[in-house]
């Protein structure tokens, strides 16, 4: 399979391509076009030219375009899900590729109905002052390999809804489903409004430094986000950066392990743990530590892991070798430093199917706890004093999300309010929705996505006095 890039509404082939493997089998799914700097310049020029008309398009027309995007996703969901599973590895069913396409459609539909109305700041004998939101121009989008289509829609739809145009570059690990999706979306969009280029990381660096891109939106690692921010500084671009998480969860002594085990498991292992907002470290009170570990191991041991195209699979492989090696390194280090492997913990000799792994007996200061593992591993840290648990949870450079697990909702909320992060949950984790803004603090990013607050990130303010 060889898919083309889309520039100014037309397919664009590349002189060179790179193979995209299926992480479940190693078989080649297709070829990724390797864009040149000239291809990127053409895509940005097309978006810049299209912006003139698109930004002046009546609001109801842009609303309809976003609804049309949702309709296209709905009509082509199974084709895109199949392609997504083949290149990403996640199962078709459950919380896999079909779930991701449903989320993409839902976010597009909800965002289509959002509106940023002018605000009257003053209207009296001294005059009238109004605040307007205006589109920025060309938006550059760089998306990750874990939820490639849903995150692409999180970037694309609010940008188009507010009158911007887009050049998107998907991860080189999962480019094919985005290439096909953009090709399909261009059947309902004017030429140049949505463009897609693919290639190595060097193309992303050119995007963030490009003088005709007015805003960059990036979802991925903190290390790469810092590079995006640095290269964007020369043109003072607007930025939205959703970066690493390493989310903490605190289980209070009154929690009932049997009641929370399912929520904790899926909070940690959704998408095989390859989710920025997944539960990455769990602090459990002494009094229920052993019981919770036992029921969690029992639950996890029954989850089928296998090829994503097998409808019986519930979880799949780690998506790429680099991430697999990182997970393996962190687990081996934790074992060497006294970690007690309760489940899994042994990398296979071949393939990318790392076993679901639960490790107890750890503390802050061990790499598996301190770093975001981004894989199917959950470290469990025992605590005796809740103040210590809060301090340990906050003792991390990241601050995306956190959760508190308890029967006492008021007590849980009080603790959640002290967590240094952008989102907190009570008795759940990784539960996001399109009307609730999401963004991190500390090293977990800049800006927010979703809802009116996320929509406003794609605009500049103009204040008018009359």
The candidate with the shortest Cα–Cα distance to 47, out of 139, 162, 112, is 139
3-class SS at 182?
helix
Q: For the packed helices 176-185 and 59-75, what is the interaxial angle rounded to 10 degrees?
A: 130
- pLDDT value, residue 442: 98
- Could you give the residue ranges of the DSSP H alpha helices within 381-450? 386-394, 409-416
Q: For the packed helices 148-161 and 176-185, what is the interaxial angle rounded to 10 degrees?
A: 30
pLDDT per residue as tens digits for the range 110-125: 999 999 999 999 999 9
- pLDDT value, residue 57: 97
- pLDDT value, residue 202: 95
Question: Is residue 66 flagged as an active site residue?
Answer: no
The superfamily (CATH) of domain 247-426 is Aldehyde Dehydrogenase; Chain A, domain 2 (3.40.309.10)
The candidate with the shortest Cα–Cα distance to 332, out of 367, 291, 374, 375, is 367
pLDDT per residue as tens digits for the range 188-238: 999 999 999 999 999 999 999 999 999 999 999 999 999 999 999 999 999
- pLDDT value, residue 329: 98
Domain ranges in the chain with CATH number 3.40.309.10 = 247-426
* Mean pLDDT within 243-249: 96
pLDDT above 90 (res 86): yes
- Could you give the residue ranges of the DSSP H alpha helices within 272-402? 286-300, 321-336, 367-370, 386-394
Task: Please work out, in degrees rounded to the nearest 5, the angle formed at the alpha carbon of residue 309 by the alpha carbons of 279 and 330.
Answer: 35
Length of the chain measured in residues:
466
The fraction of the chain above a pLDDT of 70, given in percent, is: 100
Domain ranges in the chain with CATH number 3.40.605.10 = 5-243+444-465
Band (pLDDT 50/70/90 cuts) for residue 187 is very high
Half-sphere exposure of 392 (CA within 13 A, CB side): 25
CATH 2.30.29.30 correct for 5-243+444-465:
no
Q: What residues are paired with 380 via a beta bridge?
A: 282
Band (pLDDT 50/70/90 cuts) for residue 2 is confident
Tokens of 237: 């671009």
Number of helices and strands in the chain (H, E): 15, 22
- Tell the residue number behind the tokens 């398009």, with chain if given: 57
Question: Is residue 420 flagged as an active site residue?
Answer: no
3-class SS at 244?
coil
- pLDDT value, residue 200: 93
The candidate with the shortest Cα–Cα distance to 429, out of 245, 241, 247, 222, is 247
Q: How far is CA 160 from the centre of its chain?
A: 19
* C-alpha span between 281 and 269 (Å, rounded): 11
* SS3 assignment for 245-295: CCEEEEECCCCCHHHHHHHHHHHHHHHHHCCCCCEEEEEEEHHHHHHHHHH
The candidate with the shortest Cα–Cα distance to 300, out of 405, 380, 378, is 378
DSSP 146: S
Average pLDDT, the chain: 98
- pLDDT value, residue 259: 98
Contact 200, 176 (CB under 8 A): no
Q: What residues are paired with 449 via a beta bridge?
A: 438
Tell me the pairing of strands 28-33 and 17-21.
antiparallel
pLDDT per residue as tens digits for the range 26-58: 999 999 999 999 999 999 999 999 999 999 999
Band (pLDDT 50/70/90 cuts) for residue 343 is very high
* Mean pLDDT within 248-268: 98
DSSP 233: G
User: Would you call 205 exposed, middle or buried from its count of C-beta atoms within 10 A (0-12, 13-18, 19+)?
Assistant: middle
Give residues with Cβ within 8 angstroms of 113, minimum separation 6: 63
* Mean pLDDT within 141-160: 98
User: Which position among 196, 276, 293, 421 bears the catalytic label?
Assistant: 276
pLDDT per residue as tens digits for the range 353-369: 999 999 999 999 999 99
Q: Is the dihedral of CA 108, 438, 200, 150 positive or negative?
A: negative
User: Which position among 100, 105, 242, 372 bears the catalytic label?
Assistant: 242
* Mean pLDDT within 267-278: 98
- pLDDT value, residue 85: 98
pLDDT above 90 (res 416): yes
| Cβ contacts of 75-84, under 8 Å, gap ≥ 24 | 76/181, 76/184, 77/101, 77/102, 77/105, 79/180, 80/149, 80/177, 80/180, 80/181, 80/184, 82/309, 83/29, 83/176, 83/177, 83/180, 84/148, 84/149, 84/174, 84/177
Phi, psi dihedrals of residue 36, rounded to the nearest 5°: -100, 170
3-class SS at 239?
strand
pLDDT above 90 (res 1): no
Q: For the packed helices 201-209 and 37-54, what is the interaxial angle rounded to 10 degrees?
A: 50
Tokens of 129: 């002052």
């Amino acid at each position: 399979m060889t898919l083309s890039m889309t520039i100014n509404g037309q397919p664009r082939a590349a002189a060179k391509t790179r193979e995209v493997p299926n992480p479940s089998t190693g078989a080649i799914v297709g070829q990724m076009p390797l864009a040149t700097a000239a291809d990127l310049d053409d895509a940005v020029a097309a978006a810049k030219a299209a912006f003139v008309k698109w930004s002046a398009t009546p609001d109801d027309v842009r609303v309809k375009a976003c609804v049309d995007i949702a309709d296209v996703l709905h009509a082509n969901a199974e084709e895109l899900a199949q392609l997504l599973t083949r290149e990403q590895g996640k199962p078709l069913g459950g919380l896999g590729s079909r779930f991701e396409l449903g989320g993409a459609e839902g976010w597009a539909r909800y965002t289509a109905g959002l509106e940023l109305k002018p605000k009257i700041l003053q209207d009296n004998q001294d005059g009238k002052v109004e605040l307007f939101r205006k589109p920025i121009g060309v938006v550059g989008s760089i998306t990750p390999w874990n939820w490639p289509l849903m995150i692409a829609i999180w970037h694309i739809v609010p940008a188009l809804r507010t009158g911007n145009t887009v050049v998107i570059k998907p991860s080189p690990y999962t480019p094919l489903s985005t290439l096909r999706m953009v090709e399909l979306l261009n059947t309902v969009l004017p030429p140049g409004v949505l463009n897609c280029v693919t290639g190595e990381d060097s193309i992303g660096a050119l995007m963030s430094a490009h003088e005709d891109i007015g805003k960059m939106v990036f979802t991925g690692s903190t290390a790469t986000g810092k590079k995006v921010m640095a290269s964007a500084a020369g043109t003072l671009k607007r930025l939205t950066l959703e970066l690493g998480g390493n989310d903490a969860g605190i289980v209070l002594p009154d929690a009932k392990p049997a009641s929370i085990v399912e929520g904790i498991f899926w909070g940690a292992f959704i998408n095989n743990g390859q989710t920025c907002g997944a539960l990455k470290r769990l602090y459990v009170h002494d009094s229920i530590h052993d019981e919770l570990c036992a029921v969690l191991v029992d639950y996890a041991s029954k989850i089928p892991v296998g090829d994503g195209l097998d409808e019986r699979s519930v979880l799949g492989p780690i998506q790429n070798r680099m991430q697999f090696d990182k997970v393996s390194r962190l687990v081996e280090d934790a074992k060497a430093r006294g970690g007690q492997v309760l489940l899994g913990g042994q990398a296979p000799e071949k393939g990318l199917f790392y076993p679901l792994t639960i490790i107890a007996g750890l503390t802050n200061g061990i790499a598996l706890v301190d770093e975001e593992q981004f894989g199917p591993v959950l470290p469990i840290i025992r605590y005796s004093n809740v103040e210590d648990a809060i301090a340990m949870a906050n003792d991390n450079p990241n601050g995306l999300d956190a959760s508190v697990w308890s029967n006492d909702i008021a007590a849980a909320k009080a603790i959640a309010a002290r967590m240094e992060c952008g989102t907190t949950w009570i008795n759940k984790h990784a539960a996001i929705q399109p009307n609730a803004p999401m963004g991190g603090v500390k090293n977990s990013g800049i800006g927010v996505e979703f809802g009116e607050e996320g929509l406003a990130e794609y605009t500049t303010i103009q204040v008018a006095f009359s």
